[in-house]
Amino acid sequence: MPLDTGDGHAPTPHDVLLHSRFASGDLPRLRVLVEGHATLAGLVEPRRDDFVVAMDAVATNAVQHGGGDGTLVLLRRGGELECRISDRGPGCTEAVLADLPHAPGASAEGAGLWLTRLVADRLSITPGAHGTTVSFAMRLL
């Protein structure tokens, strides 16, 4: 199945920096890989750390709530670094963002997406027939 960038255009081989399936035990390796690719793509500190933390939060959600595993695609598109994580869980929509905690000390439930929304320049949640895809991006400065 060809990879779709979500905007109806197939990515070029130069767009895709990383395409990896993962499960819970793979998260430490995935953090290292994403940080390395983010560095090479030109994402500078402290945004690079924020990007890796957001990726970890979304990937952890995929493992915990999305069927035990997921797929990560890291893309460099134009002036952005985009992370797209898909799972096979029951799904959710962007409407869930309205119910996320809005302050430190609030319930930890939903804190990963709340954090991702705070640090990312763009965030979308797309339900599918067999799971959910969470995409977020940061501009390369």
> With b meaning 16 or more CB within 10 Å and e meaning fewer, what string describes 57-81?
bbbbbbbeebbeebbbbbbbbeebb
Q: What is the rounded distance in angstroms from the CA atom of residue 45 to the CA atom of residue 6?
A: 27
Residue 8 lies in a domain: no
Tally of domains in the chain: 1
Tell me, yes or no, whether 118 lies in a domain: yes
Specify the CATH number for the domain of residue 112.
3.30.565.10
Name the β-bridge partners of 139: 80
- Over residues 68-74, the mean pLDDT reads 96
On whether residue 20 sits in a domain, the answer given is yes
Range of the domain at 29: 16-139
The pLDDT, as a whole number, for residue 24 is 94
Nearest-angstrom CA–CA distance, 40 and 35: 9
Q: Which is higher by pLDDT, 49 or 113?
A: 49
Residue 110 falls inside a structural domain: yes
pLDDT, mean over the chain: 85
